[in-house]
C-alpha cells in the first residue's frame, strides 16, 4: 500500500518549453503533497507544499511563477516547469502524506520515483 | 528551525560487516525521525520511523535505529550488510504536524565484496 506514482520518469526538452510532471497517490488519498528538487549527489530541497484545493506554499527562493503547482484532487498534484532553462535541469521528486483512515499512515511521506528533467 | 546532520558523506563496508550510519538532529520538541534509502535514479523508500515509545525501532530490510534524546541522535544500524544495501541513505526530521521534513545531506554507502 501507500504507492506514489510519478510521471514521467525522464524528460528532455528544449529551452523555453514547459514541462508538466504528475504525482499520483495510487491507493490512498493525500491532502498534502510535496515537491522536492535534488541536485546531483546532494540532499532533497523542499520546493513547495501543496494542499488539495488550495494554493501551494512555496519555500523561500522558489519562483512560484516558474514552478506552477496544482493539487486539484486528493490523488493528483502536478508541477509545471514553465519556460524551462538549462539551469532547471534537475531531479524532481514528489511525495504524498498519508491521512489516517484513508490509507497511508499519517505523518509519513511516501515518495515517487522521481523525474529527471534535462533542458537542452 | 529544525536541522539534520549526517557527518559521514561516504562509508564503505565489507559485505557481511556491521553498519552504523550517524544522524544528529536539532529540533525544539520531540521530533519525528525517519530514515529513507534512495537507489540511483530512484525515489526514496522509508526504512523506519520514530514517533514515540520504544526508542529502538525496527525497520525493513533488517535495519534498526535508536533514538537517543540526550545525544540528539538517531543512528541507523544493520548487523550484517548485503551488497544490495549499497545506496544513499537520508535521515530526516519532521515536525509533529507531519508536514515539514528536513533532510540530512545523505550518506552514500558502498559495499565491498
- The model's pLDDT over A27-49, given as tens digits with 9 standing for 90+, comes to 888 888 999 999 887 889 999 99
* Residue in A32, A41, A116 closest to B99 by CB: A32
The rounded distance, in Å, linking the Cα atoms of B4 and A118 is: 29
A95 interfacial to chain B (CB closer than 8 Å): yes
The rounded distance, in Å, linking the Cα atoms of B69 and B28 is: 12
* Residue in B41, B45, B98 closest to A106 by CB: B98
- Chain A residues with CB inside 8 Å of B51's CB? 107
pLDDT on residue A6: 95
B79-105 pLDDT, tens per residue?
999 999 999 999 999 876 656 789 999
Mean pLDDT in residue range A50-70: 91
Round the average pLDDT of chain B to a whole number and report it.
92
pLDDT on residue B97: 64
The rounded distance, in Å, linking the Cα atoms of A67 and A89 is: 13
- Are A27 and A3 in contact by the 8 Å Cβ rule? The answer is yes
Cα-based distances in Å from A83 to A50, A62, B35: 21, 15, 35
A107 interfacial to chain B (CB closer than 8 Å): yes
- Are B106 and B84 in contact by the 8 Å Cβ rule? The answer is no
* Residue in A95, A108, A113 closest to B42 by CB: A113
Check B32 against A44: CB less than 8 A apart.
Answer: no
* Residue in A43, A93, A112 closest to B105 by CB: A43
pLDDT on residue B68: 95
* Residue A62 confidence (pLDDT) above 90: yes
* Residue B112 confidence (pLDDT) above 80: yes
Give the residue, A103 or A120, on which the prediction is more confident: A120
Mean pLDDT in residue range B11-31: 93
pLDDT on residue B28: 77
A55 interfacial to chain B (CB closer than 8 Å): no
Cell 522521481 locates to A114
Mean pLDDT lowest for which of A3-12, A99-108, B27-36? A99-108
Round the average pLDDT of chain A to a whole number and report it.
90
**A49-71 burial by CB neighbour count: b if 16+ within 10 A, else e?**
bbbbeeebbbeeebeeeebbbeb
- Are A6 and A75 in contact by the 8 Å Cβ rule? The answer is no
- Are B84 and B25 in contact by the 8 Å Cβ rule? The answer is no
Check B32 against A111: CB less than 8 A apart.
Answer: no
Q: Find which of B33, B44, B60 to mutate to test the A interface (most A CBs within 10 Å of its CB).
A: B44
* Contacts (Cβ under 8 Å, ≥6 apart) of B29: B96
Cα A107 to chain centroid distance, Å, stands at 18
The rounded distance, in Å, linking the Cα atoms of B12 and B108 is: 8
User: Binning pLDDT at 50, 70 and 90, where does residue A102 land?
Assistant: low
User: Binning pLDDT at 50, 70 and 90, where does residue A52 land?
Assistant: confident
Amino acid at each position: 500500500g501507500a504507492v506514489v506514482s510519478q510521471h514521467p520518469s525522464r524528460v528532455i526538452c528544449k529551452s523555453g518549453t514547459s514541462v508538466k510532471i504528475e504525482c499520483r497517490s495510487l491507493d490512498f488519498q493525500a491532502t498534502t503533497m510535496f515537491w522536492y528538487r535534488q541536485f546531483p549527489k546532494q540532499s532533497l530541497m523542499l520546493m513547495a507544499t501543496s494542499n488539495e484545493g488550495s494554493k501551494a506554499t512555496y519555500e523561500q527562493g522558489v519562483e512560484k511563477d516558474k514552478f506552477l503547482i496544482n493539487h486539484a484532487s486528493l490523488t493528483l498534484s502536478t508541477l509545471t516547469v514553465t519556460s524551462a532553462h538549462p539551469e532547471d535541469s534537475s531531479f524532481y521528486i514528489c511525495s504524498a502524506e498519508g491521512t489516517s483512515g484513508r490509507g497511508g499512515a499519517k505523518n509519513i511521506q511516501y515518495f515517487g520515483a522521481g523525474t529527471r528533467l534535462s533542458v537542452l | 528551525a529544525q536541522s539534520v546532520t549526517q557527518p559521514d558523506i561516504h562509508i564503505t563496508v565489507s559485505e557481511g560487516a556491521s553498519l552504523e550510519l550517524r544522524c544528529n538532529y536539532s529540533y525544539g520538541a520531540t521530533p519525528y525521525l525517519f530514515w529513507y534509502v534512495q537507489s540511483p535514479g530512484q525515489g526514496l523508500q522509508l526504512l523506519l520511523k520514530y514517533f514515540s515509545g520504544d526508542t529502538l525501532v525496527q525497520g525493513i530490510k533488517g535495519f534498526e535505529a535508536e533514538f537517543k534524546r540526550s545525544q540528539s541522535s538517531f543512528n541507523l544500524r544493520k548487523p550484517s550488510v548485503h551488497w544490495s544495501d549499497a545506496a544513499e541513505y537520508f535521515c530526516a526530521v519532521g515536525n509533529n504536524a507531519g508536514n515539514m521534513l528536513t533532510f540530512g545531506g545523505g550518506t552514500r554507502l558502498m559495499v565491498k565484496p
